[in-house]
Amino acid sequence: MKKVFLMVSMVLVPLIGMNASADPITYGFYNISNNNPLNADIGEAQLFVDVSSAGNQVAFQLYNTGPLASSITDIYFDDGVLLGIASINNGPNVAFSQGASPSDLPSGNNAVPPFETTPGFSADSDPPTQLNGVNPNEWVQIIFDLQIGKTYAMLLADLASGALRIGIHVQGFADGGSESFINNPNPVPEPATLLLLGSGLIGLAGVARRRFKKEL
């Protein structure tokens, strides 16, 4: 029971760094590259984004609950009611700057429809890339201005319909591989799912340990 509590705590910790005024809505991610099924599962289990309103701005806080090795190194946004990046707030040991390289989400053509990064709507970690990315128990927050006349409610509707999508490229898995993910259109249910998430991550850690022992 203690382990489940620790995992839930890791999910909640990044919220302390939020500057946004409204309670955040949490979204998970699904894999589109599938270079390694285990890495895809790890990313889907422990990578999340909180979306919050801040007047005429919206905050996207991406975080990695851990415990398994992985690092968000590139973040991309595809269309929607966003006007432009207003600021980037880096958590401890994280360093992101506007403008990602590569300029488009790797494996973005695997998405349906293909993921097309809106010009200027991206950021990536500074060198050393993996070290300055969002590793377990870390976060980065990207704040956007909204287009004139557009609202937070419209933005949430865009996320639900897929008119706005968030793509992330993740490196630093234990095998050295990388994967790409896109946000799920439906928010993560609260609060019961957090408990399931905690137990699910513990299960993933056990699977990784068992596979490691077999390889030895």
114 is written with which tokens?
A: 């293909």
Q: Is the pLDDT of residue 52 over 80?
A: yes
42 is written with which tokens?
A: 């790890």
pTM of the predicted model over 0.95: no
Interior angle at CA 72, CA 44 and CA 91, nearest 5 = 115
The backbone torsions φ and ψ at residue 98, rounded to the nearest 5 degrees and listed phi first, read: -70, 140
Residues 133/42, Cβ–Cβ less than 8 Å = no
Q: pLDDT tens digits for 125-140?
A: 999 999 999 999 999 9
Q: For residue 114, is the peptide bond before it cis, meaning its omega torsion is within 30 degrees of 0?
A: no
Q: What is the largest CA-CA distance in the chain?
A: 59
What is the average pLDDT across 83-108? Answer: 98
Quote the DSSP letter at residue 36. S
Domain count along the chain: 1
Q: Which domain holds residue 139?
A: 2-215
Q: How far apart are CA 50 and CA 59, in angstroms?
A: 8
Of 61 and 216, the one with more pLDDT: 61
Band (195; pLDDT cuts 50, 70, 90): low
Phi-psi region of 65 (alpha: psi -120 to 50; beta: other; left: phi over 0): alpha
Alpha-carbon 2 to chain mean position:
25
